[in-house]
Structure 1
Amino acid sequence: MAKTKAAAENESQLADPSVDRKALLSEALRRRIVSMEMAPGAVVDELALSEEFGLSRPPVRELMRQMAAEGYIELEANRAARVSSMNHQSLRNFFLAAPLIYIATTQLAAIHATHAEIDELKAIQQRFREAIEQNDVENRVLYNDQFHLQIGKMAHNPYLMPSLRRILIDHARLGKIFYRHPTTHDMEADLGKAAGQHDQIIDAIARHDAQAAGDIVRAHMDLSRRRMTEYVAPVGVEVPLAF
């Protein structure tokens, strides 16, 4: 089996004796989960990860406890660790909570953001648009995640960040599912609309218009909700009743 680019990069980094292997495992495991390389509910093999990254079991267990606290992994007594699930209840909770968190962080960003932070947000948005143009699903999901995480940082409110980070896990996974093959005109139009909403959010933040920023991000979430509804309840096939 051919190695992925990410796997080859991991091998190259692990060959460096000065590399922080635990940090490399942390980054790799997060990437594998949000990219759906590790499916929701999949077993996280502690022994295999220890061998792959050249670590003993204790630091791997410590990292898994940390990632469980962040929402990436589910830990239960007497059961193997698993990637956090995506069932009906978890998706319902996501779409109930996500607008509240996104609106709060975006409005606070409009109040507190610095010029340097806004410039960084613009740079992320440029990379997001390039990923759309290149039909690069992996980077589109990655830069969308970075866009909203950067807004969270710009809010300068540590109480909101844990909730935002948890929401972004499922936002990235949903993006990987729903926009995997944007071949239809309506899906391409939605991507263009989402990118345009990002630009509007940046503009509202730069103008320190918290109300406008909140209204735009609410519409942004409505777009995601509509796409999910179409995914789980597709239009039925028309069948002629006359024989």
Structure 2
Amino acid sequence: MNKKTLCVEDLRKRILSQDIAPGSDLDEVSLSQRYGISRTPLREILHRLAGDGYVRLEENRGAKVVSMDLSVMRVFFQTAPLVYSSVARQAAENRTGRQLDDLKETQAAFTIAAKARETEQAALLNHRFHEIIGEMAQNPYLFASLKRMLIDHTRLSQTFFRPHSEADVGRVSKAIDQHDAMISAIEAREPSLAIDLTLQHWDLSRDQIENYVRPDPLPLDVISMKDHKNAV
């Protein structure tokens, strides 16, 4: 693998795992030094990442990792179930045997990582799991939308794959089981069942993902402006 390919793959991984935070500036000098490539091929890489939805290029301001502000998240939560369900239906109708084998292999690796609480690896393998289903659909329009959506979903899913309670652990275990059921439905070419399982899978993670963008409640001892009108 050459330096440019390594740079692309590593930057994708770092963005998806939030090693590079949403909205961060990407300094060309630092990146050139880190990956041992000159500015010209680096700019080609940044343009490629921008085309894939990982990076935003701003005139005279360089490159930034795509943000996850409230307006973006609102559209994400509205769009995700529509895209996932459409992809699942067409995957069940159009999948190939080779793709099914790839999906099962990815699921096996995902199961190991999720059970071991390897947050980053589980999130990246979950990303690949849903990407393969997108490839199965054989719909370039849907696949483009899915790939862009998966960037944010994978970044948000860091919280889902970092369980803090027994209930959280149970949700991760259920997600593994749902993946297995989705594979079975796709293998059996049952699009209606694939859609139903996919929407259940989305519902399972949605609340946890929403916690990422929902602010923590204020502490109970915060001064009430209503009761303390003269407070400054």
TM-score scaled by length of structure 2: 0.88
Runs of 4+ in structure 1 displaced over 3 angstroms? Answer: 233-239
Can you list the C-alpha shifts for 1:100-139, whole angstroms capped at 9, x where unaligned?
A: 1111111111001122221221111111111122111111
- Of 229-238 and 199-208, more deviation after overlay is shown by 229-238
Gaps of 5+ in 1: 1-18
**Aligned equivalents of 2:217 and 2:30: distance in 1?**
43
- Of 27-36 and 114-123, more deviation after overlay is shown by 114-123
- Percent identity over the alignment is 40
Task: Tell me: CA distance 1:216–1:55, structure 2 relative to 1, closer, same or farther (3 Å).
Answer: same
Aligned to 1:82: 64
Amino acid aligned to 2:156: L
Q: What is the CA distance between 1:158 and its match in structure 2?
A: 1.7
Aligned to 1:207: 188
**Aligned equivalents of 2:94 and 2:117: distance in 1?**
34
Can you list the C-alpha shifts for 1:116-165, whole angstroms capped at 9, x where unaligned?
A: 22122111111111112211111110110110001011111222221111
User: Does the 8 Å CA contact 2:186/2:194 hold for their aligned counterparts?
Assistant: yes
Aligned to 2:85: 103
The secondary structure found in structure 2 opposite 1:160 is helix
Note the aligned Cα RMSD (angstroms). Answer: 1.8
Aligned residues: 220
**Aligned equivalents of 1:101 and 1:235: distance in 2?**
32
Amino acid aligned to 2:9: E
Can you list the C-alpha shifts for 1:50-80, whole angstroms capped at 9, x where unaligned?
A: 2222222111111111211211111111213
2:136 maps to 1:154:
yes
Q: What is the CA distance between 1:235 and its match in structure 2?
A: 7.4
Aligned to 1:128: 110
Aligned to 1:140: 122
Q: Name which of 55, 59, 82 aligns with 1:73.
A: 55
Amino acid aligned to 2:188: R
The secondary structure found in structure 1 opposite 2:154 is helix
**Aligned equivalents of 1:55 and 1:116: distance in 2?**
36
Aligned to 1:167: 149
TM-score scaled by length of structure 1: 0.85
User: Does the 8 Å CA contact 2:160/2:208 hold for their aligned counterparts?
Assistant: no
Amino acid aligned to 1:206: E
Q: What is the CA distance between 1:236 and its match in structure 2?
A: 7.9
Q: Name which of 10, 28, 33 aligns with 1:46.
A: 28
Amino acid aligned to 2:137: A
Q: What is the CA distance between 1:198 and its match in structure 2?
A: 0.7
Aligned to 2:17: 35
User: Does the 8 Å CA contact 2:28/2:42 hold for their aligned counterparts?
Assistant: yes
Gaps of 5+ in 2: 222-232
Aligned to 2:166: 185
Can you list the C-alpha shifts for 1:72-91, whole angstroms capped at 9, x where unaligned?
A: 11111121311110111111
Q: Name which of 170, 173, 198 aligns with 1:217.
A: 198
Q: What is the CA distance between 1:207 and its match in structure 2?
A: 0.9
Q: What is the CA distance between 1:95 and its match in structure 2?
A: 1.2
Aligned to 1:7: none
**Aligned equivalents of 2:174 and 2:45: distance in 1?**
38
